[in-house]
Structure 1
Amino acid sequence: MMRNVTKSFNTPQGENHDVLRDINLSVGAGEFTAVVGPTGCGKSTTLSLICGLARPDVGEVLVDGRPVEGMGKDVGFVFQTDAVFPWKTVLGNVAAGPRFRGASRREAHAEATDWIRRVGLAGFERYHPHQLSGGMRKRVALAQTMINRPRVLLMDEPFSGLDVQTRQIMSDELLSLWDLTRPSVVFVTHDLEEAISLADTVVVMTAGPATVKETFTIDLPRPRNPREIRHTPEFVRLHERIWESLRDEVQVAYRRTVTATPDTAA
Structure 2
Amino acid sequence: MADDVIELRGATKRFRSTSGGIHTAVHDLTMTVAANEFVAVVGPTGCGKSTTLSLVSGLEPPSEGEVLVAGSPVRGIPDGVGYMFQNDAVLPWRSVLDNVAAGPRYRGESRAAARAKARTWVERVGLAGFEGYYPHQLSGGMRKRVALAQTLVNEPSILLMDEPFSALDVQTRALMQDELLRLWSGTGAAVVFVTHDLEEAIALADRVIVMTASPATIKGSFPVPLSRPRDVEELRLSTEFLEIYREIWESLREEVEKARKGNASRAA
Same fold (TM over 0.5): yes
* 1:204 pairs with 2:210: yes
Match in the other structure for 2:62: 56
* 1:116 pairs with 2:116: no
Shift of 1:12: 2.2
* 1:12 pairs with 2:18: yes
**How far does the alpha carbon of each residue in 1:144-190 deviate from its partner, in whole angstroms, 9 at most, with x for none?**
11010001000000000000000000000000110141310000000
Report 1:146-157 matches (<5 A): 146-157=152-163
Match in the other structure for 1:243: 249
Match in the other structure for 1:187: 193
Unaligned runs of 5+ in 2: 1-6
**How far does the alpha carbon of each residue in 1:26-74 deviate from its partner, in whole angstroms, 9 at most, with x for none?**
1001100000000000000000010000000100100000011111231
* 1:84 pairs with 2:100: no
**How far does the alpha carbon of each residue in 1:3-22 deviate from its partner, in whole angstroms, 9 at most, with x for none?**
00111112222211211110
TM-score (norm: length of structure 1): 0.97
Match in the other structure for 1:30: 36
2:75 aligns to what SS in structure 1? coil
Match in the other structure for 1:47: 53
The AA in structure 1 aligned to 2:13 is: K
* Contact preservation (8 Å) 2:13, 2:25: yes
Change in Cα spacing, 1:6 to 1:200, as seen in structure 2 (3 Å) is same
Match in the other structure for 1:234: 240
Q: How far apart, in 2, do the equivalents of 1:261 and 1:97 lie? A: 44
* 1:255 pairs with 2:249: no
The AA in structure 2 aligned to 1:41 is: C
Q: How far apart, in 2, do the equivalents of 1:253 and 1:83 lie? A: 31
Q: How far apart, in 1, do the equivalents of 2:143 and 2:168 lie? A: 11
1:109 aligns to what SS in structure 2? helix
Please say which of residues 228-237 and 94-103 is displaced more in the overlay: 94-103
Report 1:55-74 matches (<5 A): 55-74=61-80
The AA in structure 2 aligned to 1:234 is: E
Shift of 1:85: 1.2
Shift of 1:100: 1.2
Match in the other structure for 1:127: 133
1:260 aligns to what SS in structure 2? helix
Q: How far apart, in 1, do the equivalents of 2:23 and 2:235 lie? A: 40
Q: How far apart, in 2, do the equivalents of 1:258 and 1:18 lie? A: 19
**How far does the alpha carbon of each residue in 1:103-150 deviate from its partner, in whole angstroms, 9 at most, with x for none?**
111111111111001000000000011110110000000001101000
Shift of 1:86: 1.2
Q: How far apart, in 1, do the equivalents of 2:177 and 2:49 lie? A: 20
The AA in structure 2 aligned to 1:127 is: Y
Q: How far apart, in 1, do the equivalents of 2:210 and 2:197 lie? A: 12
CA RMSD of aligned residues (A): 0.9
Residue-pair matches, total = 262
> Structure 1 vs Structure 2: percent identity of aligned residues?
60
Q: How far apart, in 2, do the equivalents of 1:230 and 1:245 lie? A: 19
**How far does the alpha carbon of each residue in 1:184-215 deviate from its partner, in whole angstroms, 9 at most, with x for none?**
00000000000000000000000011000000
Q: How far apart, in 2, do the equivalents of 1:116 and 1:259 lie? A: 49
Report 1:130-169 matches (<5 A): 130-169=136-175
The AA in structure 1 aligned to 2:151 is: T
TM-score (norm: length of structure 2): 0.96
1:8 aligns to what SS in structure 2? strand
Q: How far apart, in 2, do the equivalents of 1:261 and 1:35 lie? A: 27
